[in-house]
Amino acid sequence: MAEYKLQGLSCANCAREMEEEIKKLENGEDARILYNTSKLIVKEEVSLSQVEKILASDGATIVKEEHDHHDHAHSHSHSNQMLKGLIITSTILYFVALIVGKWSLGAAITLFIIAAALSGYQTFIQGIKNLFRFKFNIDTLMTIALIGAFSIGDWKEGTLVAILFGINEFLEGIGMEKARSSMEALLKVAPKEATVIENGKERVVSIESLKVGDLVLVKPGEKIPSDGLVQEGKSSVNEAAITGEAMPVEKSVDEKVFGGSINNEGILKISITKSYEDSSLAKILHLVEEAQETKTPTEQFINRFAKYYTPMIILIAIIVMVVPPLVAGGEWGKWFYQGLAVLIVGCPCALVLSSPIAIVSGITRNARNGILIKGGVFLEQLGKIDTIAFDKTGTLTKGEPFVEVVKNYDEQFLLVAGSVEHSSSHPLARAVMRKVDEASVPIAEATDVETISGQGIYARVNGKRYFVGNEKGIPASAMTSDIKEEIIQLKEQGYTLVVVVDDHKVLGLMGITDEIRSESKQIIKELHDAGIKQTIMLTGDHQKTAELVSNKIGLSTFFANLLPDEKVAKVKELTQRGKVAMIGDGINDAPALATADLGIAMGKGTDSAIETADIVLMQDHLGKLPSAVKISKRVNNIIKLNISLALALKLIALLLTIPGWLTLWIAILSDMGATVLVTLISLTLMIERKTNRV
């Protein structure tokens, strides 16, 4: 398949119709016109000259390969400026014609015709072609209306309709350009060049030529060219392009960096681990582009509706022209005029435009926040979710053991714990060492170390023998009733225990749990405030641990002791009662993510997270999730409002035909008003309110 950038694509309904025409060509059956991103995708075997003829019918052209994003953006701007100039000229000629008409009707008519031609010549040329092919779309409707108005001598109103339609087209193009430019600004974060170090010499190469294993030099202020590992240097890096986080992240030797991140101050030497096309940033940008072209159920319905809507309007217009004169003896001229006005009211542009700009704006806005939504359908789905199921480990918690409770019965407690656990790589030992380091307790060398599987470690510290491990290693002589009661209470609260004992007594206890993320409680509250009815935790941990976490962060409920297949079964059960999103890390929870109505992965750029879920939070926390839910709900509400406004304004205009009050200029204003309203309302999604919270 070949992909081409288009310019001059300003009408969503026209893009759909051109796509249908191209599909009729030989080898054109798989053709797609991506209106939101101004792209054409066709088989290489298709006749490009025939495709260009179809595109030219609506003023669209293929951008030549040598043009870059800047040229493409400029071409859109140039096209809009030209249309703007023609509309201004037409408007001036219109008012001149009104003045000249007082002395010379012939001169005024000539000026009216020139003004109408300047503001809508492309529409009318295409409309004439469509009439001969019996193809009825907005161009056909406007052409019939203009010819009809001129044929009954309504030069002023006919010209005014042409000018107002030109303004309508201009505003529609501007609205879509605004939405597209926000997405193109996102694409500009991609670096263009890299400085490769070979045999001690620096060489600037294009980003496409980078290979895995290349060593690149990144100076302060430069973009990191692709994903890699720091080999030399230390600096802070702005990862906003990947994660949406404004705060810089410190990087040093052997730490991962993402392509598209900006090096702030130090000089870094980075070993490339992925070619650019495989990097996190490239995948994100590609998915964001593709996401904007997946049709939501609402869009699919509108497109189907638009196919029948225009012929239906033509039928209504004919009825308005014919029935009153035949049945009620009305004036043919008056009702012919009313029928022409009905044709203009039938323009489906505002209706077709009610969804795309809102979808583009919503996806782009989320992408800027580091939330990757893989399609408009998932954006719409997120706005309908009423239940969110969370994996516990690594999602609501940090996935690292953390000493939360310390019971100290002897001054040697922390010294012994640190001395024995110092050389152990066990996750619980690392948690103990963090607590010892926190207390700034000096440690001694442990000797005669002996590990007992399933219990803990025996060792000598300063010549005395100690045991560090679970409660099974406590000798009977040291298990007093108070110690036993303390252990029972901690276990009931869901803690894993580490005890330190000598031959006669317990020196102290530590209650270890998986550390809850600091933001989890606030996030759950914000999700409930955003309209999520149920927040549920699904975990393989035992009941008491799950209960402890659930109560601390304010979840609706939880289910513990679940095996992976039981998680899937539970998600299936939940989907029977409502719309369910499942959030996990994108690796262990893949089956549950796939089973839910919507899969959301946390990953900070990991391949598995990007590939598994429908939505990816590129941060390593849930901080942006409430924002994504709110944006998606706004998108859904705006689309409903847009459809209601577009249909309501047209209905009001059509009702004016009953008393015979509908005029051509009221008809075009109703359509233009709807187009302007749906565009402006959709673009409000791009307005971000600054917040201080991460």
Active site residues: 391
- Cβ atoms of 124 and 142 closer than 8 Å: yes
As given in the structure block, the two tokens for residue 379 are: 């954006």
- Cβ atoms of 343 and 317 closer than 8 Å: yes
Angle at 187 between CA 184 and CA 190, to 5 degrees: 150
Alpha-helix runs per DSSP H in 254-328: 280-291, 297-328
Residue 356 makes CB contacts below 8 A (sequence gap 6+) with 12, 35, 36, 176, 179, 299
Start-to-end Cα distance in the chain: 42
- Cβ atoms of 454 and 472 closer than 8 Å: yes
- Cβ atoms of 589 and 398 closer than 8 Å: no
Long-range contacts, stretch 241-246, CB < 8 angstroms, 24+ apart: 241/189, 241/281, 242/280, 242/281, 242/284, 242/370, 242/604, 242/605, 242/618, 243/370, 243/604, 243/605, 243/618, 243/619, 244/368, 244/369, 244/370, 244/371, 244/618, 244/619, 244/624, 245/370, 245/619, 245/694
Amino acid (one-letter) located at 513: T
As given in the structure block, the two tokens for residue 62 are: 């293929």
Helix count and strand count (H, E) for the chain:
23, 26
- Cβ atoms of 263 and 269 closer than 8 Å: no
Residue 586 gets the label, from left (phi > 0), alpha (psi -120 to 50) or beta, of: left
Amino acid (one-letter) located at 76: H
CA–CA dist 665, 645 (Å, integer): 19
DSSP codes of every residue in 151-171: HTT-HHHHHHHHHHHHHHHHH
CA dihedral 215, 219, 222, 223 (to 10 degrees): 30
